[in-house]
Amino acid sequence: MQVAQVLPVAAEDLDLSKLTTVFIGMGAFFLVILGIIFLFLFGRYFNLWLRAFVTKTKIGPLAIVAMSLRKVSPDAIVDAKISAVQAGLTHIPTAAMEAHYLAGGNVQRLIRALIAAHRARIELDWDTAAAIDLAGRNVLEAVQTSVDPRVIDCPDPKQGRVTLDGVAKDGIQLKARARVTVRTNLSQLVGGATEETIIARVGEGIVSAIGSSESHKLVLANPALIAQAVLRKSLDSQTAYEIVSIDIADIDVGENVGARLQADQAEADMRVARARAEQRRAEAVAVEQEMQALTQENRAKVVLAEAEVPQAMASAFTKGQLRRDGQPA
């Protein structure tokens, strides 16, 4: 009986050992396959990893292979990381770059913008720059504009207008052209108004400043008064730009709008007076015609009265009512 009991146990141990051997073999096979795949991918990105290792970007070979498996371009991420580390931006994590790449952003342009802002000592963090890039704005151009302000013509010749026309209180028209120097306001770049709004606001401010001037001569003598009046209105609020200066490039005298308006008003008053005079003349003619008709009517009444006199005399004669010197005839 002991021998019978030992034999099944030995058979069970034999089966378990076979299964264990099979599993170990399968595991080893998969490990070999994974090793071959890893070696293949690592050989493909060896130069890239070597660049990352030499530049101390702390990106390992496994991370590079994992990038390729996640559909992330290892070249773009490693190049961006190398640029950031070499520029002193070591606080930007690689995972953030991968997330921005997967979100559809331009990682290399973003890193270049951060480097430019860092060199220019402009406060710009990764989250703000990433939001600007994902919003469709060119973050690198925005940083460059913040460092090197750009000049905007007001009005914009592309809109078909050449000058801004305003009329001073003395009625003289002035035609002005301005050049607005702006720099990017990075804190309001996302959701802020564009340069079209700046052009519209500055144009409105210049026209308003000309209109509030007592005389056009004051504006011609000191065009800076217009620029100062416009700058005091804070026209760059809620926009993606900050107005640095407003310079009046050219200002010319137009037509005498006040005199033309007065002449038009005088002619209109003359037409009104003529109409009223014509109305009074027509009324006088009507009254005259009524008087003539009334005169004819009275004359007819007189004729009728004169016709009744002989009849009255005849009737009196017949009745013996005619008297002569107070006595009956």
CB contact at 8 A, 205 and 230: yes
Q: Give pLDDT, residue 55.
A: 83
Q: Does residue 111 share a domain with residue 235?
A: no
Average pLDDT over residues 168-184: 88
Q: Does residue 293 share a domain with residue 160?
A: yes
| Tens digits of residue pLDDT in 95-147 | 999 999 999 999 999 999 999 988 888 888 899 899 989 988 888 888 888 88
Q: Give pLDDT, residue 39.
A: 66
Q: What is the mean pLDDT of the chain?
A: 82
- Supply the CATH number for residue 196's domain: 3.30.479.30
- The total domain count for the chain is 2
Tokens (6 digits) for 118: 């860092």
Q: Give pLDDT, residue 325.
A: 54
| Tens digits of residue pLDDT in 232-241 | 888 888 888 8
Q: Domain span at residue 127?
A: 46-147
Q: Give pLDDT, residue 12.
A: 52
**Is 20 domain-assigned?**
no
Q: Give pLDDT, residue 43.
A: 61
Q: Give pLDDT, residue 323.
A: 61
Q: Does position 4 have pLDDT exceeding 50, yes or no?
A: no
Q: Does position 1 have pLDDT exceeding 80, yes or no?
A: no
Q: Does an H or E element contain 66, and which? A: helix 61-69
Q: Does residue 167 share a domain with residue 278?
A: yes
The DSSP result for 101-147, as a single string, is HHTT--HHHHHHHHHHHHHTT----HHHHHHHHHTT--HHHHHHHHH
Backbone dihedral angles phi then psi of residue 252, each to the nearest 5 degrees: -125, 160
